[in-house]
Chain A
Amino acid sequence: MTSHDLRAENLTLGYSDTDIVTDLDVQIPDGRITVIVGANACGKSTLLRGLARLLTPRGGQVVLDGKSVQDMRSIDVAKVLGLLPQSPVAPDGITVGDLVGRGRYPHQGWFRRWSDDDDRAVEAALEATGTTELADRNISELSGGQRQRVWVAMALAQDTDLLLLDEPTTFLDINHQVELLDLLTDLNRASGKTIVIVLHDLNLACRYADHIIAMKKGAILAEGAPKDVITAAVVTEVFGLACEVVPDPVSDTPMIVPRGRHHAPQAVIQRLA
C-alpha cells in the first residue's frame, strides 16, 4: 500500500444558506486509524463528505497527495479513497453479490469490464464481513445489521488505500460492532490501510483509535491520541455531559462513565440522608 497524504486546508463546507464546517484544518495520519467523535449534527458527516469530494468546498480545499481533490477526476479519487455514507440506499431487488460488486466500479472502465481481480476482491470482502452466505439473497430481505455489513463489504471491495466510514456500526449488535472494528484494525495493521471512522460509542472510539478527533459545531475541539485527548472536561465540552473517565480494564484506554441526573454520587448521598 502506498502512503498518502490527505488533509483539509481552511476548509469551509455547507448546504444552501448555512455553513456547517468553517475554516477547518486537519491532516489524516497516514496508515493509522482515525476516529471522529462529536454530538449529533456537529458536522462529522459533512466533513467526511467534504474529504471524499462529495461536497464542493465553499472555501479552502481538500488536498490528496499534494493535489486539490477538486482538480482531480472523481474516478481517480475513488481509486484511492473510499467512503461509506451514513445512510446508503439500495436499489430495488438487488442481490448482495451484485451490490458488493458495484464497489468495483472505479477499477473498471468502458473497455475493462469485469475481471478475476474483481471476483477476488468481492469474495474477500464478503468473507471478511461474514456475508458470503448472503451473496445470493435480496438486500431487502436482510436484517439491519446484515445489511450494514453488506455495505461495509461494498466499501471494502472498492479496495482503496484510504477508507472513510460514517457510523459503520449502526444497527450492529455489540458483538458485531467489536468484530467490525477488529476487522478494520486487521486491515489497517496488515496492509497499512488508512481508516477514518465516525463513531458514537466513545469507549470503542478510544479503544480502536490511533488518533481521535473531537468535533463541536463544525470545528475541531481537540485531537490526538485518545489518552491525551479524552478527558472528563473534553467530553463535557463536546457532548455537554458530566462524566467520569476511568481506564478501560481491557485496553487501558480512556473509558467514559456518564453521570446523568439520577445516578450522580450526590443523588446517592441525598437518598441516604
Chain B
Amino acid sequence: MKIDFELNGKPTSVDVDGTTPLLWVIRDTLGFTGTKFGCGMAQCGCCTIHFNGMATRSCMLPIQAAKGAKITTIEGIAKDGKLHPVQQAWIEKDVAQCGYCQAGQVMTAVNLLERNSKPTDEEIERAMEGNICRCGTYHRIKDAVKHASELMNNQ
C-alpha cells in the first residue's frame, strides 16, 4: 500500500504493508537508524519520534495511520546544521553512557520543552518516566533537561 507523509520536513512516500509499524518503515525501508528498537511494545521509549508534534512510540504505530502526518525523527531535530538546545545540553552534561536509549530520551525531552518551556522537577520526571535507560543516566537526563530549558529561554 502506498503511503505519503512528511519525514523531517521532506515529502516521503513508501509502498509497504499498511500494518507495518512506523519504526520499521523508518529504519529498514527508509534507512534512518537513529530511531531505536528496544521492546516493540511501546514500553521502553527507545523508538520515540514526533508524530504531528507529539512524542509517540513508533514501534506500535501502523504506517497506515501516518498518511499525511508530519513525522520528525532524531535526525530531524538539528536545524540547518545547528544542534537543538536539547542536543547541546545532552552533550554539555555528558549524559550518554552506552547511548542506545538516548535518541528516545532526547525526542521526549524536546517535545516536553516545546509544550512547557520551564518544567518543574516533577514535570520533568513525569514526562521522562516512559523512557528506560539501563545504564542509569536519569540523574544527568534531568540536569540536561533543565539546562536545555535555560538554553531555550535565553535564546
Answer whether A and B are interacting partners. no
